[in-house]
Amino acid sequence: MRRERKRLEENWWLTVIKMKQDIEEVIEIPDGIQVVLDKEFVVKGPKGELKRAFRYPGIAIKIEGKKIKVTTKNATKREKKMLYTYRAHLANMLKGVHEPWIYKLKVCASHFPMNVGVSGNEFIVKNFLGEKIPRKLKVKDGVTVKVDGKDVIVESIDKELAGSTASDIELLTVIRGRDLRVFQDGIYITEKAGKPIK
């Protein structure tokens, strides 16, 4: 009985050791983009500059020539998740400074003609469901919002800023306490970073 138990414990430790592995992810730096790693990660490109701090114990980020290497040794599940998260953030930053992220929204008004516009750094919705007071949203720094007829275009080099601004615009016209099958007025996201919503 003791031998069997000891054998099972040894096998369990062997599986734990096998689960932990060294991981290295390499990201190519495109031409025309400058990457600097000081206290935080700085990516400069033709469309602008992005900064972000990546601090997690056990994960190392190095710049070698035209490559960014994200590495970890004896990675646990948490470290593995963080490594791939960092890789995704870095890829988004490199793409954003070269080609901005674009989110598209559609203005839908069936009951009352809705007026949508941008004034300075404010996004304004007038006459939503016949309301007298316009609904306003302060546009975050680093994001540009354009209104083209019934289309609203949100553009930014930071993917997270563009996505959160598009979400805020959609939430600005949320209808509560009414039948959504009848009252379908609002502003809805139709395209997320080049991917249409079906």
Which conformational region is residue 18 in: left (phi greater than 0), alpha (psi within -120 to 50 degrees), or beta?
alpha
- Classify domain 101-196 at the CATH topology level: Outer Surface Protein A; domain 3 (3.90.930)
pLDDT at 10: 59
| Domain boundaries defined on the chain | 21-96, 101-196
pLDDT score recorded for residue 70: 87
| Residue 14: predicted pLDDT | 47
Split at pLDDT 50, 70, 90, the class of 168 is very high
21-96: CATH homologous superfamily?
Ribosomal protein L6 (3.90.930.12)
Entry pTM: 0.80
Say what percent of the chain tops pLDDT 90: 34
Q: Do 21-96 and 101-196 have matching folds?
A: yes
Mean pLDDT of 58-86: 86
Give tens-digit pLDDT for 8-57: 555 554 444 456 777 888 889 888 888 888 888 889 989 889 998 888 88
